[in-house]
Amino acid sequence: MEAKAAREVQYRRMVLEDVPQVHAIDTASFSLPWPESSFRYELTENKASRCWVADATGTNGEKQIVGMLCLWLIIDEAHIGTIAVHPDFRHVGIGKRLLATALLEAHHEGVRQVYLEVRRGNVNAQKMYRQFGFEVTNVRPHYYSDNGEDALLMTLVAIVPGELERLRKEP
Ligand SMILES: CC(C)(COP(=O)(O)OP(=O)(O)OC[C@H]1O[C@@H](n2cnc3c(N)ncnc32)[C@H](O)[C@@H]1OP(=O)(O)O)[C@@H](O)C(=O)NCCC(=O)NCCS
């Protein structure tokens, strides 16, 4: 499916049947992807895990997973474990809506603060996180084992649900 053929995108919790497509997006997006078994573990074993997908329906009715996200709940905090959008569907608002949907649901479950790590060079992702109010609160030097790149720890200190609703609905 081409991005312009995506008639409708639904944001819903990930199920086991999604895992092969989710893993394909992960592999296409990261130099250190998770093994496919990690997604299955998150869905079946890890009670703290909340995994989401963006599920596109094309003009001819075909369906395709075009985005994925996993976060972990730790009492009133959430840690974003991974988020990626299929390379053919980037920068059309899917990542933003996926993140807003997952964080709104996390807020319903009592989450107030959110943390994530992002590569220092990943400026596109950092721009998205800043739209949500995330700020850099720490640096983890040489965090990534493939190239020794630093991780920026970004924190959203207080979720504002109305702001997430706005981002979820933004064109
Ligand atoms: C980061 C990522 C998930 C964003 O998802 P996306 O669907 O492409 O992003 P959106 O279309 O929702 O854009 C949200 C904001 O992100 C920023 N952004 C995203 N892609 C961008 C690009 N190519 N150029 C500049 N800014 C970009 C912009 O601020 C954008 O807001 P705008 O549309 O008002 O300019 C996606 O680019 C991706 O999968 N990247 C590879 C994996 C990755 O880096 N994940 C994050 C790990 S921490």
For residue 129, give the ligand 1 atom closest to its CA. Answer: 16
- Tens of pLDDT, residue by residue over 91-105, are 999 999 999 999 999
pLDDT (0 to 100) of residue 60: 86
Q: Identify the CA nearest to 142 among candidates 159, 117, 164.
A: 117
- Tens of pLDDT, residue by residue over 57-71, are 988 889 999 999 999
Q: What is the pTM of this model?
A: 0.97
Across the chain, which has 171 residues, the per-10-residue mean pLDDT values are 79 98 98 96 98 94 96 97 97 96 98 98 98 98 96 98 95 77
Count the neighbouring beta carbons within 10 Å of the beta carbon of residue 161.
12
Rounded distance from Cα 54 to ligand 1 centre (Å): 14
Instruction: Tell me which residues have their CB closer than 6 angstroms to ligand 1.
Output: 29, 83-85, 90-96, 118, 122, 124-125, 127-128, 131
The phi, psi pair for 58, rounded to 5°, reads -85, 175
Rg (CA), the chain: 15
Integer Cα distance of 151 and 16 in angstroms: 30
Are 42 and 15 in contact by the 8 Å Cβ rule? The answer is: no
In the chain, the percentage of residues whose pLDDT exceeds 70 is: 98
